[in-house]
Each structure stands twice: as structure tokens, then as C-alpha cells.
Structure 1
Amino acid sequence: MGRQALLLANMDNYKTSSSTSSAASSDDYALDRLSADSSPLMMSPWNHASPLPKLPWAPPPAALFGTLRRKEGHICSLAAKDGLLYTGSDSKNIHTWRDMKEFSSFKCRSGFVKAIVISGDKIFTGHQDGRIRIWTTVSGTHRQIGTLPSFFAVVKASMRPKNYVPVAAKHNRAALWIKHADAVSSLSMSEESGLLYSASWDGTFKVWRIQDSKCVESVAAHGDAVNAVAAGAGGVVYTGSADGAVKVWRREAAAGRHRLHRTLLRQDSAVTALAVGGEGAVVYSGSSDGAVNFWEVEKEELTHGGVLRGHELAVLCLAAAGDLVLSGSADKTICVWRRDRGVEHTRLAVLAGHVGPVKCLAVEADGGDDGKWRVYSGSLDNSVKVWSV
């Protein structure tokens, strides 16, 4: 039997069966200090006939760049592209920011924007009402150009009884297979196949063909809420659920359908976040027990690489860029990890500054040649912090 899905610390972005305790807050920026060799400055200068050699100076691995804040509610979703940041909250407004200033905003009919994905000139937003809305920019103004599924698609499908299927996460209820019966919890885009994946608390993930905005498949993936979906390379997609499982689905080229390839993880703690890093070479999953599991992908097979432990409370979000992976937590911190030599990971920094749980993360290149990344973190403290990593 599926377990009751509970909300964690007023965090409606995912469902979990685990309970947690509160952690002490900190407004200070903290870094893990790396070990260093003994400094020559510790030696008496009178023992040297020549001036002391200059110590090599290395910049800190991360620094707080600034804070964005609006009094509209919790920050639930983020997406960044080409220096433009999109923020979604539990209000009906979606805001855009550029150069640390508000650039524009647009309003949707349903509040609680739980997921944002950018693809080309289109922005996709997932909502509490189970729908996905499509936006684009016209003359500098964001306009809604569609909804998934569309009104006409719903009307057409509702005329055929066979289009109604049982909802796994809600027994004794049937719904149209092309429409989510509960909140959209996560979105992921596969650019190579032109497919958008949406995960929902109704226990399914759905596959949308962007070319014609059509739902081409609905997969009953888990017996409990699906909290995260992440598209990999070669037609592979990963799902994580409140039932504690991480599953791998592979799209069959001939039939165009997704089949269960493997279950990577089964545990008592809910899976709350997923990320694919290293250009598809590694998969990360965050859990309500504060752990981050990861698997190495080699020749289409996955091997468990280990567990990253840096949080005292639930991991609520993950983001990967280059050799870095970042984990945001209910303990109000963000851990920055670097993948070295395959499976080895080094924790470079712990970013502390939020006074509420960290709900969402977004990463983009900082624009220079120095290997820096611009990291955005959204929190229940109603703010977005901008970091240079």
C-alpha cells in the first residue's frame, strides 16, 4: 500500500513520508576551509637573509553576489538563461530579473508556480492546478500562447470513455490520461528529442511533443507522488517519488513508448529531487533524510557511486553544471560539490545566508573564461540569493 504523502515544513513543492526537526538558522556566509601547508609567515623573519616569498593567493570557492526580494510569497521555482532569471512563487506573478534588477513580470491565472523550464523562445511553467502553461516574448512582453493540455484537446478526449484511466495516487478516481489529476511537481526538457516531461503528485509522468503541444504518452510511474523528473541522454528519463524509489525509463525508438529499464533505489525516505550532471555521465537524487545518492553512467549502465552527506535536514533541490553539483536543503544551506576522477566528490563550500529552507536552484555560466558559475537559490524566506561559484 502507498504511504500517506505529507508536506515538509510548509514546503508544497514535493510530497514526502518522512518527518523532520527544525534546525538553527544562520545568516552568515560559511565556507569549508581547505587544508593548507604550513605558512612561511609562521617562521621568524630574522632567520631569512632575503625577503619572505609571497604566498600564493586563491579566491574563495564561492561568494555571495547579492539578494533579490519581493514581498509576494515563497520562492518555489527558478530558471535562468542568457543572464535572465525567472522566479515563480505561490503568488500568481512570475518575475524576471536582469543584472540584479527586476526586468518584467507577467501574471497567470493559477498561482503556485512549482516548475519553470526554458527552451528556445518558449517558457514552460508547471502549476498547482495540474496544468502546464506556455509563454513567449512578443515585443518585450511575455504572453501566454498555450496550455498543456489545451482546452480543445480536453474536450475532444473527454468524449471517449476509454480516455479515462484510474489515478494511482488517488484510489477510486478516474481522470483523462492527457491531463494531470494533481499538481505538476517538476518539468524537464529533452532538447535532442523535442519532448517535455512533466511529473505530478498523481503518480504519473507525461510526455509532451513540443512541435504540436500534444500529450503523446502518460506513464503510471509510481504508487505515490512523483516529486522529480529528469531527462537524460539517448531517450532515458529518471523519476523520483515519495515512495522512496528512483526509476530509469528508456524510450523505445520503434514504438516511441517509455519502458521501465531499472529501479535504481528503494528506501524508506522520500526522493525529493533529481539532477543529471557531467553531460549525462552522472545522476543525482536527493532525499528527505538529507542524503544525496549518485550513479555513474557508463555504456548505458548505471553503477552506484556513493552518498554525499552534507545536510542535517531534507534535500529539497539539486542542480548540476560542469563538474559541480549543488544541493539545497531544509536546513537553509546549499552544499557545493565538485566531481573529481569519476566517482570522487569534494565539498567545496557550504553557502549559508537564507533564513528559510532552500526550495530551488538554478545555475548558468558567469560569462567569463575563469570557470565561474552564477548560482541562484530560492527560499521560503521570500528571497533569491545570487552566488558566484
Structure 2
Amino acid sequence: MATMEVEEQREMDNNVMCLLTDPEGTALGAPMYVPQKFGPKELQQMVNKLINNEEKMPYAFYISDQELIVQLGSYLQKNKVSVEKVLTIVYQPQAVFRIRPVNRCSATIAGHTEAVLSVAFSPDGRQLATGSGDTTVRLWDLNTQTPLFTCTGHKNWVLCIAWSPDGKHLASGSKAGELQCWDPQTGKPSGNPLIGHKKWITGISWEPVHLKSPCRRFVSASKDGDARIWDISLRKCVICLSGHTLAVTCVKWSGEGVIYTGSQDCTIKVWETSQGKLIRELKGHGHWVNSLALSTEYVLRTGAFDHTGKQYSSPEEMKQVALQRYNKMKGDAPERLVSGSDDFTMFLWEPTVSKHPKTRMTGHQQLVNHVYFSPDGQWVASASFDKSVKLWNGITGKFLVAFRGHVGPVYQISWSADSRLLLSGSKDSTLKVWDIRTQKLKQDLPGHADEVFAVDWSPDGEKVASGGKDRVLKLWMG
């Protein structure tokens, strides 16, 4: 009898009481004993079984924001975790596909005669556009890695470009305050420039395709303090969003149908889009708001396109698929917004729930230039003039790690489609690829002769594009 008790006791000692929760904190059943010899593989089988997943989904597991990659026992020992308490393990769905990390420059393409200020892949990853100080927008053929079209018509620097999520249009905004729409198939302007802003354009964001297909409307932000909604079939401004007292620095059209504008007046305003009424104001920053990012940004940008490369026959089909993708990505949780500021801080918001921030994210030593959610919405990355890139939990806003290696301000960041890698471009003329799981530098990509202003990772995960002060476009592959 005693022997049996000892056996049972030994069995208990080798188990640990665990509570499985999703990233939002919702528990998957009650706490249960799990053998210490269990690792990610066994936990994955367990989760799939508990959720009744017909198709076996890949999951990653996190204990207090650190990914579990070994057996539970080894993790507990290494991190000196007490087995007396219930151990919370967060399970997180992984992208089914994996992208290859980029590690080499596959093409250096000249053409622009001034600095390349923006680069953007089309939603299906098949085309690439750049905007430059030479007043042109260029479209590039990614198969032959050569220039396809030079789009002329702007009278000043092209500061920003944005593809419509159905891939049918490209909008660009200049330092002169004018906007232009282009047909990516011909490189020709679709109509005359859109005039209305009095100062330069700071951002462009399209209405998501799951709300309206085909895409017709986009919003522009300007240094003149206004944001304007344009209808490209009517070829005019349909709504002017005015209320900011200083320059509008960034704008996002949310999947919920509202528009967020960030400004030098330290506020973020939330607008409805049928009449342009101000819904609420998000206050908290002590200095200019520089950058906004949405937790659903990746699916908003790519619409109905995913890694399978499927093309669609009708706008209705596109809208339906985009809506499915959006709902799946968002789940039951509200869309989250993160803001980065000149006050060195960031705020995480759930604007549909509250006008107060969920949390204040501090740690940068200089202004925060760019913030970006990972495609799966689990992480937030921030780039700063303090030369670092920081990684945060995208749901709680908790700080995770600082990526250091750049020796100049970091201008822009971009995520790989599977949320496993992060790319940064800096004044120090290099690009760097960071590995989220190991939290280390994965690849150093030197090659530019001067500051790197713009970087983008193609939505299909195959390529990276970068541009900067040296006037060349570089393509990088795995």
C-alpha cells in the first residue's frame, strides 16, 4: 500500500498544475496537472484536442511572455519557477505557413534621381511602388526586377504612397499637398490631381475592402491640420475632417469603419465616416503623435489576398473573403490601436471600449518614430531615434525586449507575414532582421550607401524592398 502511495506521490511531483489561456486571458477549461516532460509538441496535441480542432493547428506556448521551446521541467528549473503555484501557459495560434528569412540582396535598381522616400508592395505581393524626392512614383516588375512605369505629374517630393487593398489603385501624396491616383496596370494617372490640402501630405489610408468593394475611398492627412476623405470615382473630396489645431501626422482607416488621426496637437481623434463627425478624442501624450498602428493592419492592407496567391473574379467575392479574414483575425476582442510620440512614450488603446489608454508604454530614450503591430496582432514593435527597436506584448502592452545593433536612428520597421521576423531600416545605412523567438539579431543587411528611409516586407513573405538617400531601390531575398 505504502509503495503505491509513494508511486502516486512521485507521479504528482513530476506533474505541474497548469492553466491554459488564449492571449486575451480566456482560460481553456480548469487548471490541470500536466507532466513536466511535456513540451510544445504534447501541449499542441492537448490544445487541439480540448478545442476539438478537426484540422491540427500549430500553436506556440508562452509563460510570462517567454516562448516555451523545451520541456516544462527544464523551463521550470532554468527559470527557477515554483511548482507550488498554478502555472499559466498562453497558447497562441501560429501562421500555418513559414516564410524564408531574407539574407541577400537580389537586385540594386537605379532609376530615381533623388532619395527614395517610400516603398510599398501591392496587397498580393506581385507589384512594388516607390515614391521619391524626384517628384515621381515608380512601379517595378518583381519578376524581372526592372522598372515598369514612371508615373509623372507631381510637382514636388512624393512623400507617401498607398495601395488600395483590392490592388486596383495606387494613391500618392506630395509635399505640395496634392494627391494623385494611378492605375498600376498602365502607370497612367486616373484623372486629374486631387486638390484641397494646403500643405504637404503626411499619410494615406484606404477604406478596408471588407467594408466596401471595389475600393473607392481613401483618407489623407496633411500638415495643414485636416484629414480629407476622397472618392476616386467622383474624383473629389467628399468629407473634410477638421478639428485638430496643428498638423495631422498620421491616419488609419480602421476595420470597424472609423478613422483615427494623430496630430502634433498631442491628441488622437476618432471620426465616423458617413458625415465626418468626431466621435471621441484620445488624450494622454505630452508631445506630437508621430505614428499609429492597428492590431488588424495586416489583414486590412491585404484584404482578400493571402499566402496562397488566389485571385478573385468579383468585388463581392473579394469583400466576402476579406470579411472572413478580418473577423478571424480580430476574434471576439476589440480592435487595438497603438500610438507613438515625440514624448518618448507609446499608448495602447481599445478606442471602441474606452477613451482612456489601456496602458502607457515607456522605455525609449528619444522620440518614437514608427510603431507597428505584427500580422497576428500579438506583438507591437517600435522604432526610435534612440537607435533601438523595442518589442512589446500587443495585448497587454508589456515591454519584452530591446533590439540593439543600429548605430543611428531607426526610421521604419516592417514585419514578415508569419509574425516571426521583424525588419528595421536606419539612418546608419543598414537593414537588420530580428528573430522574435530567440529575441536576437538574425541578419545584418548592409549595402545601402546612405540612410535607409523606407522598408517593406512583401505580404507573401518572399521579398524585402528598401530605399533611401542613395536613390537606389534594393530587393532582398531568402
Q: TM-score when scaled to structure 2?
A: 0.53
Matched, 1:246 2:246: no
Per the TM alignment, residue 295 of structure 1 is displaced from its structure 2 partner at its CA by 0.8
The change in CA–CA distance for 1:115 and 1:150 in structure 2 (over 3 A counts) is closer
The change in CA–CA distance for 1:386 and 1:308 in structure 2 (over 3 A counts) is same
Partner of 2:383 in structure 1? Answer: 286
More relative contact order, 1 or 2 (CA 8 Å, 6+ apart): 1
Partner of 2:477 in structure 1? Answer: 388
The change in CA–CA distance for 1:301 and 1:138 in structure 2 (over 3 A counts) is closer
Q: Which amino acid aligns with 1:84?
A: Q
Encode CA deviations 1:238-261: one digit per residue, 9 max, x unaligned.
1212221212232226xxx85533
C-alpha RMSD of the superposition: 3.5
The change in CA–CA distance for 1:361 and 1:307 in structure 2 (over 3 A counts) is same
Q: Which amino acid aligns with 1:178?
A: S
Per the TM alignment, residue 67 of structure 1 is displaced from its structure 2 partner at its CA by 1.3
Counterparts of 2:393 and 2:464, CA distance in 1: 24
Counterparts of 1:334 and 1:266, CA distance in 2: 23
Equivalent residues in 2 for 1:341-360, closer than 5 Å: 344-360=438-454
Partner of 2:372 in structure 1? Answer: 275
Whether the aligned pair in 2 keeps the contact of 1:245 and 1:265 (CA below 8 Å) is yes
Partner of 1:226 in structure 2? Answer: 289
Partner of 2:113 in structure 1? Answer: 72
Q: Which has the higher helix share?
A: 2
The change in CA–CA distance for 1:71 and 1:220 in structure 2 (over 3 A counts) is same
Counterparts of 2:136 and 2:265, CA distance in 1: 25
Encode CA deviations 1:12-42: one digit per residue, 9 max, x unaligned.
xxxxxxxxxxxxxxxxxxxxxxxxxxxxxxx
Whether the aligned pair in 1 keeps the contact of 2:345 and 2:363 (CA below 8 Å) is yes
**Gapped regions of structure 1 (runs ≥ 5):** 1-58, 152-165, 168-175, 367-371
Partner of 1:5 in structure 2? Answer: none
Equivalent residues in 2 for 1:282-321, closer than 5 Å: 282-297=379-394, 300-321=395-416
Partner of 2:467 in structure 1? Answer: 378
Counterparts of 1:148 and 1:296, CA distance in 2: 41
After alignment, is 120-129 or 267-276 more displaced? 120-129
Partner of 1:25 in structure 2? Answer: none
Q: TM-score when scaled to structure 1?
A: 0.64
Matched, 1:335 2:432: yes
Per the TM alignment, residue 105 of structure 1 is displaced from its structure 2 partner at its CA by 3.2
Partner of 1:137 in structure 2? Answer: 183
Per the TM alignment, residue 187 of structure 1 is displaced from its structure 2 partner at its CA by 4.8
Per the TM alignment, residue 268 of structure 1 is displaced from its structure 2 partner at its CA by 3.8
Q: Which amino acid aligns with 1:374?
A: K
Counterparts of 1:60 and 1:302, CA distance in 2: 27
Per the TM alignment, residue 70 of structure 1 is displaced from its structure 2 partner at its CA by 2.3
Whether the aligned pair in 2 keeps the contact of 1:223 and 1:243 (CA below 8 Å) is yes
Per the TM alignment, residue 91 of structure 1 is displaced from its structure 2 partner at its CA by 3.3
Matched, 1:261 2:354: no
Equivalent residues in 2 for 1:1-389, closer than 5 Å: 62-81=103-122, 82-99=125-142, 100-107=145-152, 109=154, 111-118=156-163, 119-120=165-166, 121-128=168-175, 133=179, 135-137=181-183, 140=186, 141-143=188-190, 178=242, 185-190=249-254, 192-195=255-258, 197-201=260-264, 203-205=266-268, 214=276, 219=281, 222-233=285-296, 234-252=334-352, 259-265=356-362, 267-297=364-394, 300-321=395-416, 322=418, 323-340=420-437, 344-365=438-459, 373-389=462-478
Whether the aligned pair in 1 keeps the contact of 2:360 and 2:397 (CA below 8 Å) is no
Counterparts of 2:183 and 2:243, CA distance in 1: 26
Whether the aligned pair in 1 keeps the contact of 2:365 and 2:386 (CA below 8 Å) is no
Whether the aligned pair in 1 keeps the contact of 2:120 and 2:161 (CA below 8 Å) is yes
Encode CA deviations 1:254-308: one digit per residue, 9 max, x unaligned.
xxx85533221264411111111151100000111111111113xx422211111
Whether the aligned pair in 1 keeps the contact of 2:266 and 2:287 (CA below 8 Å) is yes
Please list every run of at least 4 consecutive aligned residues from structure 1 whose deviation after the TM superposition is greater than 4 angstroms.
144-151, 179-189, 194-210, 212-221
**Gapped regions of structure 2 (runs ≥ 5):** 1-99, 199-223, 226-239, 297-333
Residue identity over aligned pairs, in percent, reads 23
Encode CA deviations 1:132-176: one digit per residue, 9 max, x unaligned.
x3625287333258859789xxxxxxxxxxxxxx98xxxxxxxx9
Give 1 or 2 for the bigger CA radius of gyration: 2
Counterparts of 1:106 and 1:227, CA distance in 2: 28
Counterparts of 1:213 and 1:135, CA distance in 2: 23
Q: Which amino acid aligns with 2:434?
A: W
Partner of 1:19 in structure 2? Answer: none
Q: Which amino acid aligns with 1:375?
A: V
Per the TM alignment, residue 183 of structure 1 is displaced from its structure 2 partner at its CA by 6.1
Q: How many matched pairs?
A: 293
Per the TM alignment, residue 316 of structure 1 is displaced from its structure 2 partner at its CA by 0.8
The change in CA–CA distance for 1:106 and 1:198 in structure 2 (over 3 A counts) is farther
Counterparts of 2:385 and 2:434, CA distance in 1: 19
Q: Which amino acid aligns with 1:331?
A: D
